[in-house]
Structure formats: structure tokens, C-alpha cells
Chains A and B, each alone.
Chain A
């Protein structure tokens, strides 16, 4: 194997981290440089993640030894097909959001600080995804979280500060629970490397400690991922951030820090099957409760935030089934949700940018004035509600089929109910925002600038074509192999040690 493949892995963390500090230094002196640097980094990481798809599918997981120390003593970064899958999602959305933010963030002062925090958050998420070490996971988790606390409070208005404080308290508690879990696992296995830990745990089976640690991780990652009953910080925190950040938080952060970390720890390290029914129950409850709370909302972004809870429920339901088809559906829904939820938040940002309001009752008839935003949000709404041929339909269909297949028709029924409620609440959004009569005070509004339109259209195209990922020729190296990695569980350890030799 060529050397470049290994050295690529740390770039996913190092590049955004370096540029983030560079922007901090230079951003205030030269105005255009932060825009340019951030876009270049996002583009480079996006291309790199596409390159990684090809590399990782060929040869099993790639392992990079930090500082040349051999794991389990040294820290390693692991790039397997699940990591690659997440990396592609994270970096594609980041690129699109960056392009969107160039215009959108003109409304705020201190744009360079925004970019610095933005890249720091990206570094944290990429770090969580590629790391192969438990404590490193915690460190990157906190890097990503701390940057996101700052970004939620970016407007420094009363609501934003309050939401950020709430979010930060919850995030800190989640981090401490995860740290406690890691500490107990370390004292049990005497190692921090994930692959090594998986081996030790599978050898010493049948300890009560694993159960306790599982609960700690479920609380910790559940809080980060806004799983019911740990969801209530999310509807405050996500709408308070600027729109591009809402898109990042809802589309990526809760998945990279919550769902991905949960999958990685439970499937690859602990191999805990006892956790699966719990994940299904919690997933179904988040799914239903999230959507019921969403229907009554009148704030555009708050409504979307409640839907994030509901959609994370779908993902957890799919993953919790534990069957290959269920995991495939869950991961596919994760991909789709990142796309359409980011798009919806960008739409709400566009509406906010043009009209200065996100109250559904004040808006109306924007279809005539903002055709691009209106049609892209139509695509996203149909996607999230699960109408064919958009991507949301296919992943929900797989999850429901997998539920019935595994002998859980009740869960399947709840998934259908939640989907119908989702449709209802997005019909409300479309009716109040884009259809109906144009209010007089909005007669003068214009469509948003080109860069914002471009990112929305791009995401809408992905929503439209996303269903193609199910075609085996397209998904073989990407979606299917990621689902296989999850389904294989603790095979992860063997594969990592194999590729070290």
C-alpha cells in the first residue's frame, strides 16, 4: 500500500485545526481571507473524503499510528468503511454550508471568528469519526462541542445566550458521563485502544460493569445526540444558532457526536446486544414525541429542530433492529436526514435573510418572490415526509420493511404514524410560508444571493438522486460496506490488528 493513503487520515483533523488558528490570526487584518481559506479547506476535505471511499473499499481499514507508536500503546486513527461513510456526509455538508455562509454571515459582525469556530467544530467531528482510541474520542467530542456552544451563542442576544447556556450544561454533563464510562472501561480492560478494548471485553465476558458502562454511554451519547428522554435542550439550541450552523448542528453534529459514537462504541467495542431493544424503544419514542411536539410549533426553525429529534428516532430504530437490513436502513436514513434537514435549515435561513422573520404566521406567499427557495424547500419537505421518489421515502421504506421482517409490526406502525404526522407538519410549513397571499410588507423582498441559491439547489439535487444509493453498483463500496461494518460488530478489532501487520 502506498504511503499517501496512510498520511491522508490525520489531514481530516489537522487541516481544519490549522486553518482555524490561521483564520484567528489573519482574519481580522485581511477581510476576504477567511472566506477563501474556509472554502478551500472545505473543498479539499470534501475531495479527500471522496478519495477515501475508493481507498478504504479496496483494502479493509487503514490504520495510522500517531507518532509512529504501535497500538495498543500508541494512539491510532482508523479509517474503515463506516468512518468513510460518515466522513463523506460531514465534509459534503460542510462544503455546501460554507458556500452558503459566505453571503449569509454578512449579517453578523466578526465573520472570521465564525469561520474559526466553524472549522474547529469540523475538526472535532472529523476527529470523532476517524479516531481509534477511546480517550481521543472524548477529547474530539469536547472540541466539537465547545466550538458548537460558542456558535449557538454567536448572535449574543438574550435567547441565544440562554439556549447556549442550557446546551452547555447538558453537553458538559454528557461529556462527564462519557468520561466516567471511559475511566471504568479503562480500569476494567487496562487499555484505551478501541480494537484492543474490544478484544479484552469479548474475552472477559459476563461482568456487571459492562452493563453499568453501557448505561453511562447511553446517557452521554444520548444527550449529545438528542435521543428521547434527553432531547429537550435541542429545540432551544439549534434554532438559536445562525442558519448555516443550525444546518451543521442538526445535520451533522448530533449524528457524528451522538449516533456515530454510539454505534462505534456499542457495536464495535462493547459488542453489546442487550442495548438493541433499548435503542429501539428510545428511538420509537423520540420519533413519535418529536413529531407531535413539532406539529404545534409556529417558529420555522424550532419546528425543524423538533423534527430532528423525530428523525434521529428513525435512525436509532433502524440501528436498534440489529438486522443487516435495519442497520442499512438506519445508516441510509442518517445520510438522507443530513441532506434534507440541512437543506430545510438553509431554506429557513434564506427566508429569514430575505424577510427578517421566521414566524410562520407572519409569512406567506413567498413562492412568487423566492422561487428557488420555495421549490428547494418543497423538495426537502417531500423528502422528510417520505414521499417517493425522494430519498427519505426509500430509507423509511427500508426501516419499515426491516421492522416487519424482524417481527416488530408495532414499531413499523409507529414509524408510519410518525411519517404521516411529519407530512402534516410540513404541509403547514409550505402553506404558511410559501403558498397563500403575499403580505404587503414583503412586496419588496428579493431572492437570496447566488451562492445561497447554489447550495440549496445542490442539496435538493442530492435529495432527489439520493434513492440511487440503494442501487448495488453505486452503494457497494459506500453504504452497503458501512452497514456491513456495523453488522459485523467486534470483527472490527480483528480487522484493525490485521491491517497493522
Chain B
């Protein structure tokens, strides 16, 4: 069930990217998609009633959450940070040149 919630958030982000005209809103849409994915990854590793995967020699733990997706999303968050920073930097430069954030008005390239 929660998987579907993540998918819905992902779809909302995608909608924002496709339908919005403001560049900043598009960037926010991409970030929403990213966070939906990060959440989904954590959910993949979740086990009902599981505990953190830190083991000691004497202990025997039967139910731990999967730590690998958590490690993966750390990487994914860093990559997302780089992309977002670059996107915002570009948006600022475009605003300096065109004086607008509206992508329908930023049309120097013709098809």
C-alpha cells in the first residue's frame, strides 16, 4: 500500500515537470520525484518490527532491516543534490539573460 503512495508522489512530481511553466516549479517537481524514490528505497529495506542492523558478537538478532537501500539512497541524495544545484544555477543564469522564469517565453531555439 505504501508503495503505491510513493508511486503517487512520483507521479505528482512528474506531472509538475510536464505541466508547469515556471522553471522553479519544474525543478521542485524533479525534487519531489527524487524524494518519492528515496522513500521507496527505504521501504524496500523495511521489515515489520525490524531493528537497526548493528550486530554484536554475543547477540543473535533475527529481524533486522536491510541496510543496503539506505546506503544506496545516501548516494542517490548526493547525486540529487548535485543535479539540483546545477539546475538552480542554470535557472539563475537563464533569468539573468531572459528576465523570466516562464519556459514558454524562453524560446530562442526553433525546432
Name the residue of chain A whose CB is nearest to the CB of B72. Answer: A135
Q: How far is the CB of B73 from chain A (nearest CB, A)?
A: 9
Query: Which residues of chain A are near B82, meaning CB under 8 Å?
Result: 142, 146
Given contacts A172-B87, A236-B109, are A161 and B97 in contact (CB under 8 A)? Answer: yes
Total A-B pairs in contact (CB under 8 Å)? 85
Q: How far is the CB of B16 from chain A (nearest CB, A)?
A: 11
Query: Which residues of chain A are near B79, meaning CB under 8 Å?
Result: 139, 142, 146, 175
Which of B23, B41, B44, B83 contacts A142 (CB under 8 A)? Answer: B83
Given contacts A139-B79, A153-B90, are A186 and B44 in contact (CB under 8 A)? Answer: yes
- Flag whether B76 is at the interface (Cβ < 8 A): yes
Query: Which residues of chain A are near B94, meaning CB under 8 Å?
Result: 158, 161-162, 165
Whether B14 and A180, one on each chain, are in contact in the complex, defined by CB atoms closer than 8 angstroms, is no
- Flag whether B106 is at the interface (Cβ < 8 A): yes
The interface size of chain A toward B, counting residues with CB under 8 Å, comes to 33
Secondary structure of the B contact surface, majority rule: helix
Report the bound CA distance from A186 to B44 in whole Å: 8
Whether B83 and A168, one on each chain, are in contact in the complex, defined by CB atoms closer than 8 angstroms, is yes
Name the residue of chain B whose CB is nearest to the CB of A235. Answer: B111
Whether A173 and B14, one on each chain, are in contact in the complex, defined by CB atoms closer than 8 angstroms, is yes
Q: What range describes how many residues of B lie at the interface?
A: 20 to 34
Report the bound CA distance from A162 to B105 in whole Å: 11
Whether A183 and B86, one on each chain, are in contact in the complex, defined by CB atoms closer than 8 angstroms, is no
- Flag whether B93 is at the interface (Cβ < 8 A): yes
Report the bound CA distance from A164 to B106 in whole Å: 12
What 1/0 flags go to B60-87 for Cβ under 8 Å of A? 0000000011001001100100110011
Whether A169 and B30, one on each chain, are in contact in the complex, defined by CB atoms closer than 8 angstroms, is yes
- Flag whether B15 is at the interface (Cβ < 8 A): no
Q: How far is the CB of A72 from chain B (nearest CB, A)?
A: 11
**Complex A-B: 18 CB contacts under 8 Å:** A139-B79, A146-B79, A146-B86, A153-B93, A158-B98, A161-B97, A162-B107, A165-B90, A165-B91, A165-B106, A172-B30, A173-B30, A173-B33, A183-B40, A183-B69, A186-B44, A236-B109, A240-B109
Residues of A within 8 A of B (CB): 135, 138-139, 142, 146, 149-150, 153, 156-159, 161-165, 168-169, 172-173, 175-176, 179-180, 183, 186-187, 192, 232, 235-236, 240
